[in-house]
Amino acid sequence: MQKIVLIGDPVAHSRSPLMQNAALAHLGIAARYEAVRTSAEELAERVASLRDPTFLGANVTLPHKQAVVPLLDTLEDEAARIGAVNTIYKHADGALRGANTDAPALLADLAEAGFAPAGRTALVLGASGAARAAAFALAGARVAALVVANRTAERAEALLADVLLGITDETGLTPDGTPPPTLVALALDDPELADYVAGCDLLINATALGWHDDETPLPAPPVGPHTLVYDMVYRPTRLLHEAAARGASTRTGIGMLLHQGALALARWTGREPPLEVMRAALGS
């Protein structure tokens, strides 16, 4: 029996084991997926243990998506640009390779929601590994403007500097010759944030605030019917309830979880992921 693990802290809430074990059983693969709580102090040892032949790989969740990067042998190009990894898999020689399946998963789920980012204004709350994936994905999808608001504006500024570097060449243009999106970094307590929230087409919560019922990164968000409010937490949250009360469309992160998990499974097994089996296991 081979193993795949979810590395993070906390992990008890995760629904990935349900989804991945259903997929592995459907494919007839003798492997088991389990969530393993891993502190920052344990991270290096946990990643090193993946080199054992019994492991197919791992998922990585908060707070380790950036910290895990230097512990790996190689990175896929997109993971290197983003600077965050949520999937670890192996080369034939056993080397550990990092991928970011969060970014394409977000775009896939937005497409399922009928939202096309191109030409729109997007606002991302947070500057963690999940926020980095969202920011790079949206910039690559040609949003007209991208706002990142974080507890500290300095981290938001650093993230957007990395985005600009990752999507432009020496001429300052994107590879297809178009200008990059307008980029704005703010602190969550900046008085100007309310105006940006009111004007955005897409608002994404990429912080951990929302796992508990009374938590929200943005109380009483001034959104309206023109806005899709997307919370990466994969259950209804206070942010989504308050946004819906103001007429906004809302979406949890369960679809993003599904798509990133399918992309990860393909890397671990080389098999076509049974997407509908995985969706059914999540109850989505």
Bridge partners of 97? 74, 89
User: In the CATH hierarchy, which top-level class contains the domain 103-252?
Assistant: alpha beta
Question: What is the total residue count of the chain?
Answer: 284
The answer to whether residue 65 is catalytic is yes
Q: How high is the pLDDT of residue 52?
A: 96
At residue 278, the 3 state secondary structure works out as helix
pLDDT at position 213 over 80: no
What is the predicted pLDDT for the residue at 30? 98
Q: Is the pLDDT of residue 284 over 80?
A: no
* Cα distance between residue 60 and residue 58, in whole Å: 7
- Reduce the secondary structure of 6-66 to three states and give it as a string: EEECCCCCCCHHHHHHHHHHHHCCCEEEEEEECCHHHHHHHHHHCCCCCEEEEEECCCCCC
pLDDT more than 70, % of the chain: 100
Calculate mean pLDDT across residues 88-117.
Answer: 97
Which tens digits make up the pLDDT trace of 113-146? 999 999 999 999 999 999 999 999 999 999 999 9
Q: Higher model confidence: residue 213 or residue 261? A: 261
Sorted by where each begins, the domain ranges of the chain are 2-100+256-282, 103-252
* Residue 176 reports pLDDT greater than 90: no
pLDDT of residue 175: 83
Chain-centre distance of CA 7, in angstroms?
15
The Cα–Cα gap between 265 and 260 comes to 9
Listed in order, strand segments (DSSP E) in the chain are 2-8, 31-37, 55-60, 74-75, 87-90, 96-99, 121-125, 145-150, 182-187, 202-205, 228-231, 249-251
**What percent of the chain is modeled with pLDDT above 90?**
92
CA atoms within 13 A on the CB side of 119: 2
Calpha distance 35→84 (Å, rounded): 19
pLDDT score of 157? 98
Task: Report which DSSP code applies to 226.
Answer: T
CA distance 258 to 55: 22
Peptide bond before 63: cis, by omega within 30 degrees of 0? yes
How would residue 214 be classed by pLDDT, with cut points 50, 70 and 90?
A: confident
* Cβ-contact 148, 127 below 8 angstroms: yes
Which CATH class for the 2-100+256-282 domain? alpha beta
Alpha carbons 248 and 28: distance in angstroms, whole number: 42
Catalytic-role residue among 46, 65, 90, 120: 65
pTM (predicted TM-score): 0.96
What's the CA gap between 273 and 255, in Å, rounded? 15
90 φ, ψ (degrees, to nearest 5): -115, 145
Mean per-residue pLDDT for 36-49? 98
- The mean per-residue pLDDT over the stretch 5-29 comes to 96
Average pLDDT of span 60-84: 96
Backbone Cα Rg of the chain: 19
The pLDDT of 3-16, averaged and rounded, is 95
With 80 as the cut, is the pLDDT of residue 207 above it? yes
pLDDT recorded at residue 210: 85
